[in-house]
Amino acid sequence: MSFRGQPLPDEYYFLCMLHNIGATSSDKSLTLEEISRRIAMEPGKVMEKLERLIEEDYVDVNDCGGIKRYQVTVKGIMKVMSMYS
């Protein structure tokens, strides 16, 4: 995938979508199923991208009573904003 003429990894588009659907703080964090439903992407693919973004510190995961919830980190928010600023 490319953005303004340069290659852009798929997971950054995914990060942008995760930010735009509002998962930007712990009280707005979302489960895998919720993310999958809101951005219309298979859970397997969502998981793959989340894992990569967690590695890069753009996404954080919390365990809430055995259920994993995901949110974009401050570093991730900055990354998304840099695309359109």
Residue in the structure block whose two tokens are 């990354």: 79
Q: Which stretch binds other proteins (CB under 8 A): 10-18, 45-53, 61-69?
A: 10-18
Considering only 32, 47, 61, 83, the residue that binds other proteins (CB under 8 A) is 83
Residue among 7 and 44 whose Cβ is closer to other proteins: 7
CB-based contact 71:28 (threshold 8 Å): yes
Strands (E), 1-85: 2-3, 6-7, 30-31, 59-64, 67-72
Contact 57, 73 (CB under 8 A): yes
Q: Which range in 8-16, 46-54, 61-69 contacts other proteins by CB under 8 A?
A: 8-16
Measured from the CB atom, is 2 or 66 closer to other proteins? 2
Identity of the residue numbered 75: K
Binding residues vs other proteins (CB under 8 A) = 3-9, 12, 16-17, 20-25, 38-40, 74-75, 77-79, 81-85
